[in-house]
A and B are shown apart, each in its own frame.
Chain A
Amino acid sequence: MSLLEVRNLKHKFRDGTEALRGVSFKVNSGDFIILAGKNGSGKTVLIRHLNGLYIPSEGEIFFEGKPIHKQIKWVRQNIGMVFQDADSQIVSQTVWNDTAFGPENLRLPKADIEKRVSNALLAVGMMELKDHSPHNLSGGEKRKLAIAGILAMDPRIIILDEPFTNLDYTGIIDILGQIVKLHKSGHTIICVTHEIEKVLYHSNRLIIMDRGLIAEDTLPEKGIFNTHKYGITPPMEEREGIEIVRDMTWLK
């Protein structure tokens, strides 16, 4: 049985825009999926359904075989979502308190909360900043804090919405390293990005969305040759007249 299953998902906004027009796919435990597509293709709308934040107009989503709308708390605990704008995910005035926000909402005992927060901050290398104000962190640190906040809830699937946006080279390397580490530690990853050359090497599936539909769901090594059709920068470059596929990771 797959960990997560999306069946014929449709979403229509009040103004009549059809953001999703019948999306179906499965996520297996241990997958590292790159969800790519140009702006407005429906990526963000899709992942917000996976966390129960949006209600579909049609279709259903199953987590471990059970419909997610019947067990939303359990689903949100198991499917963590890192938002594109890390600033909007920060709700507390210290790094420690912000990481504790999720476990506190789970009404866990104090000792468990402390253990989870401590482990999450150690995992992202931010323990020494625990008393700092999140407001004053750099872009990369804010994103790591957002990841720590999700890790503290102990999810099985982690969805990252455009994790490399607005980051400099060092920040991208840092976040990419974190994502790969999370995957190696057993988390299932869904990474929404159109900058596929930074991360594709680490993934086992490439899903490309186009106008509210899944246009490709394939192996990364096959999918890269079609990206240009869907408005995604082809991860190839021309050297001396020969097309060369780039490394597909910024981690060295």
Chain B
Amino acid sequence: MAEITVFHFQAGNTLIYRLNTKLKLLLLLIYSFSIYQLSLKGVLFLSAFIFIAVSGTLTKPAGLIRQMKGFIFILILIVAASMTSVTGDPLFTGLPFPTREGLLSGMLAGWRFVMIIILGLIFTTTTRPNQIHAAVGEILKPFPLVNESAIAARMSLTIMFIPILMDMLNEIREARKARYIEGSRNPVKNISTITVPLISGVILRAGETSMAMESRLYSGALPGTKQAVQRKEYLLFAACLVPVVPAFLL
């Protein structure tokens, strides 16, 4: 039985589950954009609201967030890049980097990244994949020369593959530990012993899955179900936008 459930739909019945997927997607975009535009205070204010929303919508938020430890590496990279590139007051005398400004900017960038991941987590955990597929299809439909159904189907499949990839990664890590490769000081060996089996596993799995899909008559697109937006959903959408306004004023 798999241990990773992050980015997977989990049945529930809170308000966010009942919100129309198009509006939910729009909220995700507005919140993500805001987080990258807001000041530190604004980001913290909006984060507080997001955390309240997480505790009210997800059944086991702490467990899900723990499963995202795979992202820690990217988080460290973001903070490190900022610490070693932003000029200002050096933290250690005699060394140009890291700087106080770089550390603060790196922490803010890292925090923004964490919040974006949590927003994605709320969206994927509370929205059925076929609803995501239908909403993306509907949003893209007015654009000419865009195969909205194929793009929507690929997006659903990509979301479906995230926990599988994380499972594979965990297995590879454990196999490395069992063979004492984990502690190797050679960074090239460290990276290659993870990426080579991961990529070959993904290619094999994708080949088998595409064949299984073909045998069930998949032809490049999935039929979606249209969802009409109701008045109470617009009200909920507006209520979710309320904290964004004061966040910009801070």
Contacts and interface: CB of A to CB of B under 8 A. Distances in A.
Given A133-B9, A138-B1, A51 B225 contact: no
Interface string A69-106: 00001001100110101011101111001001110111
A221 interface: no
A107 interface: yes
B209 A105 contact: no
A131 B4 CA distance: 17
Contacts of B1: 136-138
A77 B215 contact: no
A91 B5 contact: no
B128 interface: yes
A88 B208 contact: yes
A19 to B, nearest CB: 15
B212 A88 contact: yes
Contact of A133 (B5, B157, B208, B222): B5
A102 B217 contact: yes
Contacts of B213: 91, 101
Interface residues of B, number: 33
B222 A104 contact: yes
A133 B10 contact: yes
Contacts of B223: 104-105, 107
A48 B213 CA distance: 13
Contact of A153 (B11, B212, B216, B219): B216
Interface residues of A, number: 36
B171 to A, nearest CB: 12
B217 A135 contact: no
Interface in A13-72: 48, 51, 53
B22 interface: no
A92 B218 CA distance: 13
Contacts of A102: 216-217
Nearest to B216: A102
B128 A51 contact: no
Contact of A77 (B11, B217, B218): B217
Contacts of B128: 93-94, 97
